[in-house]
Amino acid sequence: MKRWLLVLAVLCAAPMARACPVAPDHSEALADLLRRAQQAPNEYQARLITNEMWALWADAPDEAAQEVLDQGMRRRRAFDLIGAVEDFDRLIAYCPDYAEGYNQRAFVRFIQQDYARALDDLDRALALSPAHVAALAGKAMTLMGLGRMEEGQAVLREALALNPWLPERHLLQDPPGEDL
C-alpha cells in the first residue's frame, strides 16, 4: 500500500516538476473588457462582461497549472479552505508569476479572516496584473477588514473607476465633507 501511495504522489507531483510557462498575455483583451464595463448600460450587461474577465484571469499558463487552479477553486467553493490553500500554494510554487494563484489564495485567506496575509497576496497579484479589478476590489475589502477604512475606500474608488458595476460598489461611503 505504501508503495502505491508513493507512486501516486510522484505522479501527482510530476506535472509540477517542470518549469511553468509564461502566463497568457490578455492585457489588450482585458483593457477592452474594462472599457466595455465602463460603458455597460446596466448591471446585467456588466456582469456578462465581468464573466469574460474572469475567464481570462483564470486562464492558467498550462494544463498542469489549470488543473491545480480549478481544483483549488472547487475546494474553496466546497469550503475546504485548507485544501484550497494547499492547492494555491502549489500553483504559486509552480507559477510564481501567475497573478490568479495569489488572488485565489487571497480570497481564501479573506474568508478565513487572515487579512494581513490576504493583503500580501493581493499586493503580489496586483504587481503582476495591475488591471485585475477583482484583486483591486478584494484589496479594498481586505483593507476594510483590517480596519483601514479610508485606505480601503480609496482602493475601492480605484476599482470602481475601472468597473463601476462591481458588487462592492454598495460599500462605497461618501467622502468626508461631501454630500452625494
Task: Compute φ and ψ for 27, nearest 5 degrees.
Answer: -60, -40
pLDDT digits (tens, 9 = 90+) for 48-103: 999 999 999 999 999 999 999 999 999 999 999 999 999 999 999 999 999 999 99
Q: Calculate mean pLDDT across residues 7-11.
A: 38
Q: Calculate mean pLDDT across residues 26-46.
A: 96
Q: Which three cell numbers stand for residue 122?
A: 493581493
For cell 460603458, the residue is 39
Residue 128 has pLDDT above 60, yes or no: yes
pLDDT (0 to 100) of residue 16: 52
In this structure, is the dihedral angle defined by the CA atoms of residues 146, 57, 163 and 126, taken in order, positive or negative?
Answer: positive
**Does domain 25-170 match CATH 1.25.40.10?**
yes
The predicted model scores a pTM of: 0.86
- Share above pLDDT 90 across residues of the chain, in percent, rounded to a whole number: 84
Q: Which three cell numbers stand for residue 123?
A: 499586493
The residue ranges of every structural domain in the chain are 25-170
